[in-house]
Amino acid sequence: MKKIFLIMIGFIVLLIMNGCGPMNSSPNDERNEQKQNNHMNPSSEDNHSSGNGRGMMGMNHHDLSLQSSTGENELMIPPILKSDSETENEVYYTIDAQQGQTEIFDGIETKTLGYNSSFLGPVVKLKKGQTAHLTLKNSLDEETTFHWHGLIIDGEADGGPNAVIEPGEEKSITFDVEQDRATLWFHPHPDGNTAKQVFGGLAGLLYIEDDVKDTYEYGENDFPLIIQDRTFNEDKQLDYAAVKDPDGTMGETLLINGTLNPRLTVGKEKVRLRLLNGSNMRNYTIKLSNNTSFEQIASDGGLLNDPVELDEVQLTPSERAEIVVDFSQFKAEDDVKLIMDNNDGEAETVLLPFKMNEQEKVNENKIEQRKNPVTISEEEMEKPVSKEINLSGMGRHVAINGKKFDKDRIDLTQKQGETEVWEVYNESNMMGGMIHPFHIHGTQFKVISINGEKPPENLQGYKDTISIDPGDKAKLAVKFKEKGMYMYHCHILEHEDNGMMGQIEVE
Ligand code: C2O
Ligand code: CU
Ligand code: CU
């Protein structure tokens, strides 16, 4: 009975929206809200949308397929940022957000944004135990902020939407590095303008190091892969306004570390790939073209307790996974590639073809196990839920607990150092809903359960973002080591910009 009622309401809403939508709304917003998209959960119940979205709506960015890499260009490896000065206990860096021109396509200059460069940014390395002093410069012609995604840092220095740096200005922050080794990243976070700035190229890697023994070498057998999709216009420029989609902007052109049509030359050895989904909204299911398994050794917040053997790994926007592929088992003619599984029967997309350097290498690259295993205590398991987070809507109607972000409103409070259980629910709607990657600033949380069940092994490490399918509920053990104001939000950047974000004050 309830179902029939819902279907009827849905039908009426569709009729109304279809009848008057396109006339009195801008072409890019309302219409897109009812479209079906390629990461709806087909198995979620109450999904009455099958067949209604796509047919009726004209343009549908969500169905944009991603072009395969031809492997023409060797992958760009981001430089490691040189410190202004460094001692055992102290490190100084200057990070400058700037605009520039980058030759992404042969012989063509594309206007881009970057940190200390024209596009993307360098790797900023910090060591556990150090005090970091960062000078942050805004050389853009608009406001920006510098957010340290995944970093345990006080709210003041976290770089959320309240930490605006005006064009031409600079600001310094100081903080202690207190977490274990991890692959983190940094990006802008200005209120309502994050998606555009990231799309333009503002994103860099932040590596935390500690004294765990690690024989991998950066750029030799340890490579970051910042995976992004972009749409370029006819002049090969990035025109965000022209392609912007309120449900998340997808692109048809793949860039890894800013390289078009990338390939990676590797030796016959174990190779560690640090994957970052730096896309505005696209989800990736990543695997090897010959279906060989690999190991995932780290998630968002650092090393897993043990490597997890996987055939594929899924990454929603802002998630990281460090994987190890053993190339000593392959031959050059195997022509192994990193590919994206399109799930929907469509042909797979080649992300990164590997070129194998035949000379036999026998160094057994290794990384020591983590010293303090991630565990969820009995007490944490039994704690009652004290924060309920309800993710709802699509397009411009997205909300958290029915509300849109307001920088003058504090939505939640929590005590420093105390663990609370957050229950995050993706309220699936009649349109079927979509995945929301849920992210919390200033902490690395543990996943207690997903729909009441223990999470898969590769989600049993520290996380700062978790992908939540329509209708799903995740329980998280969340603790803030520092104080201040922090954001929590959907990491589809357009959802964040549309207000799918709240703030929590930690005292
Ligand atoms: Cu990747 Cu609010 O951040
Ligand atoms: Cu963040
Ligand atoms: Cu979302």
Lowest mean pLDDT among 168-172, 376-380, 463-467: 376-380
The average pLDDT across 450-460 equals: 97
Judged against a pLDDT cut of 70, whether residue 16 lies above it is answered with no
Cα angle 45, 50, 54; round to 5: 140
Atom from ligand 1 closest to the CA of residue 465: 1
Q: Report pLDDT for 428.
A: 81
183/223 Cα distance (integer angstroms): 11
Ligand 3 centroid–CA 351 distance in Å is 24
In this predicted structure, what is the pLDDT of residue 64? 86
Which ligand 1 atom is at minimum distance from the Cα of 318? 1
| Ligand 1 atom nearest to 441, measured from its CA | 2
* Minimum-distance ligand 1 atom for the alpha carbon of 147: 3
CA of 465 to the centre of ligand 3 (A): 12
pLDDT at residue 218 tops 60: yes
Q: Tell me the C-alpha to C-alpha distance, in Å, between residue 232 and each of 110, 238, 241, 273.
A: 9, 5, 12, 27
Tell me: pLDDT of 98 over 80. yes
pLDDT of residue 385: 98
58-75: average pLDDT:
79
Mean local confidence (pLDDT), 253-273 = 97
Residue 234 has pLDDT above 60, yes or no: yes
Centroid of ligand 1 to alpha carbon of 443 (angstroms)? 12
Measured from the alpha carbon of residue 320, the closest ligand is: 1
How far away, in angstroms, is 252 Cα from ligand 1 center? 23
Mean pLDDT of 180-207: 98
Which residue do the tokens 């902007």 mark? Answer: 249
Q: How many A from CA of 154 to the centre of ligand 2?
A: 13
Ligand 1 atom closest to Cα of residue 187: 1
pLDDT digits (tens, 9 = 90+) for 30-60: 333 333 333 443 333 333 333 222 222 323 3
**Sheet containing strand 204-209, strands side by side:** 123-127, 204-209, 182-187, 147-149
- pLDDT, tens digit, 9 for 90 and up, residues 398-407: 999 999 999 9
Tell me the CA–centroid distance for residue 490 and ligand 3, in Å. 5
Question: Which ligand neighbours the alpha carbon of 433 most closely?
Answer: 3
Measure Cα distances from 435 to 292, 329, 492 in Å: 27, 36, 9
- Ligand located closest to 470 CA: 3
pLDDT at 213: 93
Q: Which atom of ligand 1 is nearest to the CA of 149?
A: 1
The whole-number average pLDDT for the span 230-250 is 97
Q: Is the dihedral of CA 7, 13, 17, 19 positive or negative?
A: positive
pLDDT at 409 over 60: yes
The per-residue pLDDT for 52 is 28
**Predicted confidence (pLDDT) at residue 13 exceeds the cutoff of 50:** no
Residue 310 token pair: 């996987």
Ligand 1 atom nearest the C-alpha of 160 is 2
β-strand 270-277 against 222-230: which pairing, if any? parallel
CA of 105 to the centre of ligand 3 (A): 32
450: which residues sit within 8 A by CB, 6+ positions away? 459, 472, 473, 474, 475
Q: Which is the closest atom of ligand 1 to the Cα of 501?
A: 2
Q: What is the pLDDT of residue 4?
A: 44
Element (H, E) at 467: strand 465-468
HEC-encoded secondary structure of 88-111: CCEEEEEEEEEEEEECCCCCCCEE
Taking alpha carbons only, the member of 423, 431, 432, 430 closest to residue 400 is 423
CA 329 – ligand 1 centroid, Å: 38
Q: Which residue has the higher pLDDT, 46 or 180?
A: 180
* pLDDT computed for residue 276 by the predictor: 98
Q: Which atom of ligand 1 is nearest to the CA of 496?
A: 2
> Quick one: pLDDT at residue 313?
98
Proximal ligand: closest to the CA of 499: 3
**pLDDT for 460 beyond 80:** yes
Distance 149 CA to ligand 1 centre (A): 5
Tell me whether residue 111 is exposed, middle or buried, using C-beta atoms within 10 angstroms of its C-beta: 0 to 12, 13 to 18, 19 or more: middle
Q: Which ligand is nearest to the CA of 438?
A: 3
Mean pLDDT value across residues 212-225:
96
Residue 28 is predicted with a pLDDT of 40
Q: Which residues contact 237 (CB under 8 A, 6 or more apart)?
A: 110, 111
DSSP string, 226-245: EEEEE---TTS---HHHH--
Q: Residue 9: which pLDDT band, with cuts at 50, 70 and 90?
A: very low
Structure tokens given for 21: 């939508």
194-to-118, 189, 268, 280, 305 alpha-carbon distances in Å: 18, 5, 40, 10, 34
pLDDT at 267: 94
* pLDDT value at residue 376: 95
38-52, 121-135, 158-172, 309-323: which range is least confident on average?
38-52
Query: Quick one: how many helices (H) and strands (E) in the chain?
Result: 7, 32
Range scoring the smallest mean pLDDT among 13-22, 127-136, 364-373, 472-481: 13-22
pTM of the full structure: 0.88
- Would you state the pLDDT for residue 342? 84
Report how far residue 202's alpha carbon sits from residue 99's, in angstroms, rounded to the nearest whole number: 9
Whether the predicted pLDDT of 1 surpasses 60: no
Residue nearest to atom 3 of ligand 1 (CA): 149
Phi, psi of 152 (to 5 degrees): -85, 110
Pocket of ligand 1 (CB under 6 A): 147, 149, 187, 189, 318, 439, 441, 487, 489, 491
- The pLDDT of residue 362 is 66
Cα separation values, 187 from 101, 159, 339, 387, Å = 19, 9, 26, 27
* Ligand 3 centroid to residue 438 C-alpha, Å: 8
| Residue 217 φ/ψ, nearest 5 degrees | -120, 130
pLDDT on residue 476: 98
In this structure, which ligand is nearest to the CA of 37?
3
Give which of 148, 186, 145 is closest to 166, Cα–Cα: 145
Q: Whose CA is nearest to atom 1 of ligand 1?
A: 149
CA of 438 to the centre of ligand 2 (A): 10
Q: Compute the distance between CA of residue 282 and CA of residue 38 in angstroms, rounded to an integer.
A: 10
pLDDT above 50: residue 145: yes
